[in-house]
């Protein structure tokens, strides 16, 4: 009888073995300024409290290509907000889909916010930007961090009945997979009244007029 369960065991083992896991990067949540700020906003935060939920493929939401003057405009506007991979060949951007920035006199910007958000992956060589995770209006990526040239962490929250449930996504640009992790209970949920400002946004907030 035990041999009947062997294929199922192998399937489950292969589906999780080798995938990036939050617990492997516990020190980053203490050392990286953005991840430390985010983890401090999560009650009773511990990486091992986040359990594997599912694996999804990168989306292909609203792909576009930066060309001509659009290249300089984009990087001049959002350059301090996006995160480049160590080799500078890729970048992550969770701001520009949701927020429009209009430059005004005095080196400042006026910000206009939409309700929907997407996590965008950009390719430096081609200029192509693609929304790899569409968050909608009830989930928000709040910080990202590259682990190496092809893997990254994206963290944020989802609005649920009992507050804001945190999540950790582990992404791999080689396999184009996102591994989803969430707490098993609601004791780690953030209170709705606690506003979170992303680390990079906070650094330029004095130059932003929010509408």
Instruction: Write the secondary structure of the chain as one string of H (helix), E (strand) and C (coil).
Output: CHHHHHHHHHHHHHHHCCCCCHHHHCCHHHHCHHHHHHHHCCCCCCHHHEEEEEEEECCCEEEEECCCHHHHHHHHHHCCCCEECCCCCEEEECCCCCEEEEEECCCEEEEEECCCEEEEEEECCCCEEEEEEEEECCEEEEEEEECCCCEEEEEEEEEECCEEEEEEEEEECCCCEEEEEEECCHHHCECCCCCCCCHHHHHHHHHEEEC
Q: Report pLDDT for 17.
A: 46
Q: Report pLDDT for 18.
A: 65
Q: Report pLDDT for 20.
A: 83
Q: What is the mean pLDDT of each run of 10 residues along the chain (211 residues)?
A: 39 50 93 97 96 96 94 94 98 97 91 96 97 96 98 97 97 97 96 95 93 74
Q: Report pLDDT for 12.
A: 37
């Amino acid at each position: 009888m035990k041999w009947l369960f062997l294929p199922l065991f192998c399937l489950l083992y292969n589906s999780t073995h080798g995938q990036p896991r939050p617990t492997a990067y516990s020190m980053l949540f203490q050392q990286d300024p953005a991840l430390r700020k985010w983890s401090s906003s999560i009650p009773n935060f511990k990486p091992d409290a986040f359990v594997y939920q599912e694996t999804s493929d990168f989306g292909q939401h609203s792909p576009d290509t930066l060309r001509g003057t659009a290249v300089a405009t984009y990087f001049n506007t959002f350059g301090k907000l996006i995160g480049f991979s160590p080799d500078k060949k890729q970048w992550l951007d969770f701001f520009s889909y949701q927020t429009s920035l209009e430059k005004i006199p005095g080196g400042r910007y006026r910000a206009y916010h939409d309700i929907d958000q997407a996590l965008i992956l950009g390719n430096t060589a081609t200029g192509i930007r693609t929304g790899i995770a569409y968050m909608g209006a009830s989930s928000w990526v709040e910080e990202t961090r590259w682990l190496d040239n092809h893997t990254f962490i994206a963290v944020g929250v989802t609005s649920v009945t009992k507050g804001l449930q945190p999540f950790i996504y582990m992404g791999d640009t080689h396999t184009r997979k996102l591994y989803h992790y969430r707490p098993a209970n609601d004791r780690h949920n953030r209170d709705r009244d606690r506003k979170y400002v992303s680390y990079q946004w906070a650094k330029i907030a004095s130059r932003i007029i929010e509408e």
